[in-house]
Amino acid sequence: MTTNPLVKTLDFQLDIQSDNEGLLYDATLEARSVYNETIRLAKEGVDWNTIPDRVADDANLVKNTTQRVVAKALGAMENYYEYDDFGLPSHTKEGTYPLRANYEEGYNLTLTDEGDVAFRISAKPYKHVKGVLEGSDAHLDILKTALESDEWKVGTAEALFHNDTPELHVNVTNTEQTVRDKEDSRIVVGVDVNEDNVALTALSEDGVEDTLVIDFPEIKFERHRYFTMRKRVQNAGKDSIHDTLEGREERFVRDRLHKVSRHTVEWSQQFERPCIVFEDLKEMRDSIDYGTRMNRRLHHLPFRALQFYTSYKASFEGIPTAWIDPAYTSQRCPICGHTERANRHKKRFKCTSCEHQDHSDRGASVNIAVKGIKKHQDWNVPALNSLPVVRKVRRQASGAVDAPTVTHATVRGYQADGRMGVSD
């Protein structure tokens, strides 16, 4: 069994002091020129050992940053020569390019008396960009711990522009904790995150070991309630209350997501050498367009937040996480493989080919686990002739659920043969 140190990449937005954002932007354009020149020289057959010094002589960047950008460009060239399907890097890349820097050489971070994390980035020689980091509480908490603890090491970072917003992506490593390689797993846990629940399926070489659906309808309800309250105070001209309500909503949602993610990891820990698999939903929000009201609901879904909370909690338990393409996971029948939109109607899945019936979200989690095995494991996907009855738990309004709550009267699952099965 192989293990790796716990490494996390933390993403932050930069609240830059004064007018230094222009300086950072100019530096990322200079980094692009360094990247392009490195690729051009490598294509011409120049000795790679001489390229860093040649490029650094003309670059208007800190030497350490120049070296990091050159190293990344040469890494792209190495991939091209090593792998047949890796395209030849272009030496005419346009736009900005990330500034790569070592901690305490190209950038620095400090904790302020107000509890913020201040940054200083050496954008160009003797010219610094300063300000404070903004981002999720989860990322900020990890970074603050890393800055104060000997167990953590703050590593390289990249300063970049994402959709015209300046960001800093920081790598931190915990040398005391390790995470097993995802390929070295005996159980794959497929996680399907939805508007009002998360569905889990543990899949091994022998078949489905267990399934669980965790309901959290209060997040959807509370978000709609706070949206309505904010609209009313805006119409009444009481904008000062707007930020207060928004803060309360964020704290409520964050608290519930932490509880659900913790329950997900604890459930996964019962299995031997699990790997938790998510759908890669990074591009989903950009493709959503179902009208104003539905767009608002879907854009506020906590998909990525819940995935991140679960991922980093799993890492602290040594459990690896992985990602798969989400295509057709909700429409594919886990029994016969038939794919059709008509298979799914709300929370009910009924295959139009083999007539298998199931809880639609549980079925999606099975498909996610199957894709996880195909992508990351060297063992075969087991034949799925039947699935266990769906078991559900609900997070109450207090958020305090220590054990699965049986809801015999209202929660039912569809067995593989089409008969209704009461939750156990």
Q: Would you give the end-to-end CA distance of the chain in angstroms? A: 35
Start-end of H helices in 6-163 = 21-43, 51-58, 63-82, 137-148
Whole-angstrom Cα distance, residue 174 to residue 388?
Answer: 39
> In the predicted model, is pLDDT for residue 96 greater than 70?
yes
> In the predicted model, is pLDDT for residue 21 greater than 80?
no
CA distances from 318 to 141, 153, 179, 189 (A): 19, 18, 4, 15
Q: At what angle do helices 303-316 and 137-148 cross, to 10 degrees?
A: 30
Start-end of H helices in 110-238 = 137-148, 217-235
What is the average pLDDT across 200-211? 95
- Of 122-131, 162-171, 248-257, least confident by mean pLDDT is 248-257
What is the average pLDDT across 291-318? 70
What is the average pLDDT across 228-242? 68
Q: At what angle do helices 239-268 and 303-316 cross, to 10 degrees?
A: 50
Q: What band does 221 get if pLDDT is binned at 50, 70 and 90?
A: confident
Q: What band does 138 get if pLDDT is binned at 50, 70 and 90?
A: confident
Give SS3 for 209. Answer: strand
CB atoms within 10 A of CB 9: 13
> In the predicted model, is pLDDT for residue 296 greater than 70?
no
* b/e 86-111 (16+ beta carbons within 10 angstroms → b): eeebebeeeebbbbbbebeebbbbee
- Which residues are paired to 255 by β-bridges? none
Token readout for 233 is 């105070």
What is the average pLDDT across 350-355? 92
**Angle CA 258–423–324, to nearest 5:** 50
pLDDT tens profile 393-421 = 875 433 444 343 333 222 333 333 332 23
- Of 285-299, 343-357, 371-385, least confident by mean pLDDT is 285-299
Token readout for 306 is 């819940």
What is the average pLDDT across 110-133? 93
